[in-house]
Structure 1
Amino acid sequence: MQRTERLFALAEYLRGRRTGVTAEALAERFGVTIRTIYRDLDALRAAAMPVAAERGRGGGYALDRSYSLPPVNFTAREAALLVALGRFAIDMRLLPFTDTLQSALDKVRSALSTSAQRDLLVRLSELSFSGVPAIPSKKEVRAALERAWFEHQPLRIIYVDGNHVQTTREIRIQSILMDRHETRIDAIDAASGERRHFRLDRIAHAEVVRVVPP
């Protein structure tokens, strides 16, 4: 990686984190010596980028939090990979949040210049994935799940188990697990306090339980 390319990548990396990262971690990330990282950070400062050293836990080098950066500029190569992988995730039903993902992919496309968008279409026609789609799930269930997960709220579900027994449960989502065939919700059952998995395709209904902070 040439120095100019590395400086740009370093600036993008700091922009993406906006939290402290040590010089040692940066040196490992970019495959250079710590001394080289110090020189690169000095070069960014000389270019009027407000890189500062933060002390304490979570400290390191970071951009000033008040600094406003211009929009990210994707190359056609970067956008093609993001759009292709996102499209694959939607087609294979890997992610339950398909509407949000599609909106994000549209924004990636819109960030490209006209010529880069044309190049993107060519690259996409040459890049494809195949796999076994995950089991379908209800759109309204996916929407409730997405809201509960991102907003850290409980979720009330009507769940149908393998014996076709239907129960109503209130759960707190811990994580979401995906494989080729099914999406599973790793959650804590409020009634029992137990941590267990719920298959997304077996959730017949879901609604967010709004918790008002004290």
Structure 2
Amino acid sequence: MNRTDRLYALVEELRAVSPRPRSARWLAGRFEVSSRTIERDIGALQQAGVPIWAEPGRTGGYVVDRAHTLPPVNLTAAEAVAMAVALHRLGGGPFAAAGATALRKLLAVMPATDAAGAHRLAARVHLIGGGPAGPVPAVVADAVTAGRVLRIGYADQHGTVSVRDVEPVGYLGNPIHWYLVTWCRLRSAPRCFRTDRIREVTTLDEPVTRELRGADLGIPPGHLRSLSLV
């Protein structure tokens, strides 16, 4: 179990037995890590705003306040990432920090598999500057999430439409537009397509097999960053 999954599982374990405590030693055995690792994880959750405290004594341990936590939330991975993109656009505004804390609280009560899926999807969203507000066709978004090949009709700057099969691997956003990041089978190379120029979309029954990084797109280091949910 990776750390992200373990943090969510810790909250759920403490919620399940609240108001009874769980000791660091018990939790370490449950998650097959050291007690010191559990203590660091609890500290990270507390800093994120999860209401966990320690009860002293031989029968003490860590307790979460159920009255101030949410039950499991059925957000999809795409919904969680949508919230993160919206928060990113707050920039340095007065509610940016509060928004980030709220998102962390929601992630903490999402089922572990859904939360892990949200982190994987967020890692495929790359932003330059404040990020765009332009539209992305729903079928495109669904294909990126599902990892399916697309056949697109794409209009160039002169309006000429070409049809090509692409493997969508993520998104690139600048302050004006969203781009679909793909491996283009027509060109046998990485290509980015402005989503507002995609005229037709068909989802094919083929899985995406490619992975691309920022360097593959020719973007200088420091100009591109992946979306973060924490």
TM interval, shorter chain, is 0.3 to 0.5
Q: Give the TM-score of the pair, scaled to structure 2.
A: 0.40
> Quick check: which has more Rg, 1 or 2?
1
Q: Give the TM-score of the pair, scaled to structure 1.
A: 0.42
